[in-house]
Amino acid sequence: MEEWQNPETITLWVIIAVVFLLILLGFIVLLVRAMFQKIVRTKIAESKAKLEYQQNLLDATIKTQEKERKRIASDLHDELISKLTVLKMQEQVKNENGVSANLVNDCISIARRISHDLSPPLLEFMSLDELIKDLLNPWQELMKIDYREDLRFDREHSNEFKIQFIRIFQEVMTNMSKYAKASQINVHIRQSADKLILLIKDNGVGFDMTTKKKGLGLQNIETRVQFLNGRFRINSRLNEGTSSLFIFNTKSLVE
Residues 28 and 137 in one domain: no
Q: What is the CATH number of the domain that holds 144?
A: 3.30.565.10
On whether both 138 and 86 belong to a single domain, the answer is no
**DSSP assignment letter at 139:** G
Walk across the sheet containing 231-236 and list its strands: 144-151, 184-191, 195-202, 242-249, 231-236
Give the per-residue pLDDT at 245. 94
Total domains, the chain? 2
Residue 79 pLDDT: 67
Q: Of 229, 232, 233, 234, which is closest to residue 250 (Cα–Cα)?
A: 229
Contacts of residue 112, defined as CB under 8 A and 6 or more positions apart, other chains included, come to 76, 77, 81
pTM for this prediction = 0.62
Same domain, 151 and 108: no
- In a shared domain, residues 132 and 237: yes
Q: Are 24 and 145 part of one and the same domain?
A: no
46-73: per-residue pLDDT in tens? 777 777 767 777 777 777 777 777 777 6
Which pLDDT belongs to residue 4?
54
pLDDT tens for residues 165-186? 988 998 888 888 777 788 889 9
Q: Which of 64, 85, 119 is the last residue of a domain?
A: 119
- Which of 119, 140, 168 terminates a domain? The answer is 119
Per the CB < 8 A criterion, the answer to whether 243 and 235 are in contact is yes
pLDDT of residue 187: 93
Q: Are residues 109 and 172 in the same domain?
A: no
Query: Residue 149: which of 135, 173, 133 has the closest Cα?
Result: 133
Domain ranges, residue 184: 120-255
Residues of the chain with pLDDT under 50: 254-255
